[in-house]
Each structure stands twice: as structure tokens, then as C-alpha cells.
């Protein structure tokens, strides 16, 4: 192959190298830029605000607390079962509900409901909560976090796009004060 005058093999390989590096930079850069921009992307914003169905009202009999799961609305298809999130649903009187995050307000271990004692108990450090989610004893400094809920027809829905955490106070229904 003959090269144009004044154009060496070194120049040729340099240009090919720059071209290939450009392709690699685009391949690596596009996902990174998409990730960085994802919090302001429209479709994710909509998901944060969406209402997620927990099931029909018949699944939560009056006076009882039942485990329910929902699909995290802010997921990608590759998240698999990690996007299935559990929560506790308390049907207070047939009309009023409380939906608690399953995570302990201390360090986030999943709490379990014990109807025999009417308590939520945390297996990690012995935190305990009353049936209304308020703190009963142990290391947690507050009660369980609650989701906003609404009833649509015969279905119970929660606003679950943002996980309730101490830093996301807007996503909880109310702060439950610790007991004296």
C-alpha cells in the first residue's frame, strides 16, 4: 500500500489509534452520562411520584396486620427480585390503614410482626414497636416509618417511589414519637 506524500506509517497508526480510542470513549461514556443524568430524567421523576398497588382490601382483614410486597417503581429490568419490597399493612378498623416500612428505624433490619404479643420485633438488636408503629423499647429512637396510602376502588395503594428514611422525611406520613 502506498501512502500519500508526507504521510508516514506512524501518522496512519496514530490516526487509527485516535479513532479507536474515540469509539471506546463513546461506548464507556454514554452509560456513565445516562447514569449521572438519571435523577433528573423525566421517566424516573414520574416513577418517584407514582402510586403502587399492594393488593385488594380483602387481603387485609380489619384488626389484623399482614405482610405485603410491592414492586419498586424505580427499577431497571435487570434488578430482578431485588426490586420486590416487603412492608407491613395494618388494617386499623376496616376504614383506616397503616403501611409500615419493613426496615427497623435503628439500622434497617427487617422487623417481624408477632400477633401473640401485638409487637413488631427486630431480630438484630432487640428493637420493639407497638402495633401502631410507635417505639416500644430497644435502640431505635423513633417508631417505624410509614408510607402514604390511598384506597382506589377495592385496592390499597401506597406511594413507594421513595424509600422512607430519616433523610427523606417527606415520604413518611407522620413522625411517631419515641415513648417517654
Please give the residue ranges that form the binding site for ligand FES (CB under 6 A).
104, 106-107, 109, 122, 124-125, 127, 138-140
Q: Is the dihedral of CA 41, 42, 47, 49 positive or negative?
A: positive
Q: Is the dihedral of CA 38, 39, 43, 47 positive or negative?
A: positive
Looking at beta carbons only, is 112 or 150 nearer to ligand FES?
Answer: 112
Looking at beta carbons only, is 87 or 157 nearer to ligand FES?
Answer: 87
Looking at beta carbons only, is 139 or 178 nearer to ligand FES?
Answer: 139
CB of 108 to ligand FES, least distance (A): 6
CB of 26 to ligand FES, least distance (A): 45
CB of 18 to ligand FES, least distance (A): 54
Q: Is the dihedral of CA 148, 150, 156, 159 positive or negative?
A: negative
Looking at beta carbons only, is 55 or 139 nearer to ligand FES?
Answer: 139
Give residues with Cβ within 8 angstroms of 30, minimum separation 6. Answer: none
Residues facing 152 on adjacent strands: 155
Residues facing 98 on adjacent strands: 90
CB of 31 to ligand FES, least distance (A): 35
Amino acid at each position: 500500500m502506498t501512502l500519500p506524500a508526507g504521510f508516514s506509517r506512524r501518522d496512519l497508526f496514530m490516526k487509527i489509534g485516535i479513532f479507536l480510542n474515540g469509539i471506546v470513549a463513546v461506548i464507556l461514556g454514554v452509560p456513565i452520562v445516562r447514569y449521572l443524568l438519571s435523577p433528573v430524567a423525566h421517566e424516573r421523576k414520574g416513577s418517584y411520584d407514582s402510586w403502587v398497588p399492594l393488593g385488594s382490601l380483602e387481603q387485609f382483614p380489619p384488626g389484623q396486620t399482614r405482610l405485603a410486597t410491592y414492586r419498586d417503581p424505580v427499577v431497571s429490568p435487570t434488578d430482578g427480585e431485588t426490586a420486590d419490597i416487603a412492608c407491613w399493612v395494618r388494617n386499623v378498623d376496616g376504614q383506616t390503614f397503616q403501611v409500615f416500612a419493613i426496615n427497623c428505624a435503628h439500622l434497617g433490619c427487617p422487623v417481624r410482626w408477632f400477633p401473640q404479643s401485638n409487637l413488631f420485633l427486630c431480630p438484630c438488636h432487640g428493637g420493639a414497636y407497638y402495633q401502631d408503629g410507635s417505639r416500644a423499647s430497644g435502640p431505635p429512637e423513633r417508631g417505624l416509618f410509614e408510607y402514604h396510602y390511598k384506597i382506589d376502588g377495592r385496592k390499597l395503594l401506597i406511594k413507594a417511589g421513595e424509600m422512607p428514611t430519616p433523610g427523606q422525611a417527606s415520604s413518611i406520613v407522620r413522625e411517631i414519637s419515641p415513648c417517654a
